[in-house]
């Protein structure tokens, strides 16, 4: 599939961590250094702040806007800054989108309202939510949740969503490999300009091969060089080269995510891994998360070292 039509939103977008001080305040200096480090890698098209990896649900709205400001000031010129928007209603989502726009973001990553996970929603509501937020006048990457949740969009809904002019991409997280290729082909037929980028950290190569224009993954915020090389080789047709890199990524993924998909504890484990390897100054996470047990940290330290990481703490 030709990715040139959606080139501005193809490639690797790194979902990034958010470092905190011991008092739970945002460590802006460490955040700036970390984001600059991630973004300076060739192949990273942009960074995504205020995502699940960045603990968005623990950040207040003004803090989310401030994180965007730090990101815009820290990343090299030409690299995009995307901010997550997580809200239960359209008005709050619009406010967050406008704040991100004013702070300099190039786009937002629009998550579905989380009460849908419990109560569900109609197709009219689902599509209408994105139409509502589009009024903020900023490009939107739609966050597709797993197909087994009540918040995931059906293909029919996505085919309507890609008609919205502000929708620039879909972060494809159905975690349903039986749908992956079919959905990708139908979406690209309907809207070649809209990128379809995988967020399947736990089976990244497979999802890239089934149908993707790139990847928006938290692992790119930990090992950007590896992820950029993997995506480049996978989309370029170098399967042997991609498999060799996949083996390295899988070893790290087992040390950090174990065998699960990214989750709250998995993001916490990634922050711990970033601290153990010197990428961040602190492993602090905000409540209600609690510190990892000493046994868990010791096991991570051993697993990361076995995967070839240089442990500094």
Task: Kindly report, residue by residue over 166-222, the tens digit of the pLDDT.
Answer: 999 999 999 999 999 999 999 999 999 999 999 998 889 999 999 999 999 999 999
**Which fold is adopted by the domain 7-236?**
TIM Barrel (3.20.20)
Q: What does the block give as tokens for 215?
A: 């990847």
Residues 3, 212: contact at Cβ < 8 Å? no
Q: Which residues of 211-221 are buried (b: 16+ CB within 10 A; e: fewer)?
A: bbbbbbbbbbb
The CA distances from residue 120 to 57, 133, 151, 312, in Å, are: 20, 19, 6, 46
Runs of H (alpha helix) within 135-263: 155-161, 177-190, 204-211, 224-235, 239-256
Which residues lie closer than 8 Å to 153 by C-beta, 6 or more apart?
Answer: 112, 126, 142, 144, 145, 161
Mean pLDDT of 252-269: 82
Domain boundaries, the chain: 7-236
Mean pLDDT of 119-130: 98
Q: Answer yes or no: is pLDDT of 89 > 60.
A: yes
Q: What does the block give as tokens for 75?
A: 């990343």
- Map residue 8 onto helix, strand or coil: helix
Under DSSP, the state recorded for 26 is: B
**Phi and psi, residue 83, nearest 5°:** -115, 135
Mean pLDDT of 29-37: 98
Q: What is the C-alpha to C-alpha distance for residues 261 and 277, in angstroms, rounded to an integer?
A: 22
């Amino acid at each position: 599939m030709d990715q040139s039509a959606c080139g501005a939103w193809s490639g690797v977008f790194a979902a990034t961590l958010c470092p905190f001080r011991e008092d739970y305040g945002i460590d802006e200096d460490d955040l700036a250094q970390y984001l600059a480090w991630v973004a300076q890698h060739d192949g990273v098209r942009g960074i995504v702040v205020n995502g699940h990896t960045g603990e968005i649900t623990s950040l207040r709205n003004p803090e989310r806007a401030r994180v965007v400001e730090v990101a815009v000031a820290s990343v090299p010129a030409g690299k995009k800054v995307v901010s997550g928007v997580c809200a239960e209603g359209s008005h709050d989502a619009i406010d967050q989108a406008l704040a991100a726009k004013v702070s300099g973001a190039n786009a937002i990553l629009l998550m579905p309202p989380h009460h849908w996970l419990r109560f569900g929603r109609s197709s009219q509501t689902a599509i209408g939510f994105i139409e509502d937020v589009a009024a903020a006048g900023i490009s939107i990457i739609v966050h597709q949740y797993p197909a087994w949740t009540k918040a995931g969009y059906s293909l029919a809904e996505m085919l309507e969503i890609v008609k919205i002019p502000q929708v620039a991409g879909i972060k494809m997280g159905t975690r349903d490999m039986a749908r992956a290729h079919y959905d990708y082909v139908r979406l690209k037929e309907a809207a070649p300009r809209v990128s379809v980028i995988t967020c399947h950290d736990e089976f990244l190569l497979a999802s890239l091969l089934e149908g993707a224009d790139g990847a928006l993954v938290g692992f790119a915020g930990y090992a950007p060089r590896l992820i950029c090389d993997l995506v480049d080789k996978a989309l370029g047709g170098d399967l042997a080269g991609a498999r060799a890199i996949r083996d390295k990524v899988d070893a790290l993924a087992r040390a950090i995510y174990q065998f699960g998909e990214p989750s709250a504890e998995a993001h916490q484990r990634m922050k711990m891994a970033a601290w153990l390897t010197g990428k961040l100054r602190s492993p602090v996470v905000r409540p209600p998360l609690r510190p990892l047990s000493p046994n868990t940290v010791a096991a991570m330290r051993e697993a990361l070292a076995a995967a070839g990481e240089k442990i500094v703490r």
